[in-house]
Every structure is written in C-alpha cells, then in structure tokens.
Amino acid sequence: MVFQDHFVVQTSGRGTRLITSEIQEGVHRSGISRGICNLFLHHTSASLILCENADPEVRSDLERYMTGLVPDGDPMFAHNAEGPDDMPAHIRTILTSSEMSLPVVASRCELGTWQGVYLWEHRTAGHRRKLTLTVYGE
C-alpha cells in the first residue's frame, strides 16, 4: 500500500516550527499501520530536522550556532540577489536535510520521547513551504 499527500506550511521567517502533529495525522489518514513515512520538502532554503522538543532554548541555541557557522552577508558569497540570507539559506539546507524517512509502528511515526520533527525556515522572510508525505507498508 502507498499513500501520498501534500501539505503546505506557512513560515513567519527564520526559525523552527514543529510539524510532528501534521505528520502523525497524515499517517493516521493513510490507514497504514506498519512501514515507513517519508517526508520531502520542495525547497532549497528550508530544511527538515529531528530536534529536542522539550526546551525551547535548544532551538534558539541552534539558530545562534548556525548564524555563526554560516554568516549572513559574508562577502565570499557571489549569489546574493535575494539578500544577505540567500546563499546562507542554501548552505544551511545542505548542512541539514530536505527529506527524512521515519518508521511507522502501530499506525504512528515511532519517534523517541524527546524527538520532534521541525521545519526549519532559513530565509529571514516568511515563505509558503510545500511538503510531500508518502507512507507505505501494510
């Protein structure tokens, strides 16, 4: 069995947004109890991460760290037509990921207690971000 669905997340600029419940709801609708759930983000300046879901300081520390690792407006970047965050957003995406596959057990994505799935917007402005969810199994 294969189930596919698309959904859109409206971001409000740089930062992480928890999307675990959207995913669990998609898996529920698929009717598949055991298998894999693949998530795919159709963009090159936002990414999908599994991150600690309890202390919000983890995500603010993460943002601060990444801002230091890939500085906005670095003069080494030639690709800056959309602003100082343009090329850094592409690099942040490549250093993290645009897709992930999660086990489906008992009709749910079986995440660890402290794992949340986050969409990480890397542009400073908000964007409409499109995802494909594919669930397969039995």
Coil/strand/helix, residue 105: strand
Nearer to a copy of itself, 49 or 124 (CB): 49
Question: Is 52 exposed, middle or buried (CB count within 10 Å of its CB: 0-12, 13-18, 19+)?
Answer: middle
Which residues contact residue 72 at a Cβ distance below 8 angstroms, ignoring those fewer than 6 apart?
Answer: 84, 85, 88, 124
Nearer to a copy of itself, 19 or 70 (CB): 70
Angle between helices 56-69 and 86-95 (to 10 degrees): 120
Least gap, CB of 13 to a copy of itself (angstroms):
19
**Residues 55/30, Cβ–Cβ less than 8 Å:** no
Nearer to a copy of itself, 58 or 124 (CB): 58
Nearer to a copy of itself, 67 or 124 (CB): 67
**Site residues for a copy of itself per CB under 8 A:** 2, 4, 34-36, 38, 40-45, 49-52, 55, 57-58, 60-62, 64-65, 68-70, 76-79, 81, 87, 90-91, 93-103, 105, 110-115, 130, 132, 134, 136-138
Least gap, CB of 72 to a copy of itself (angstroms):
13
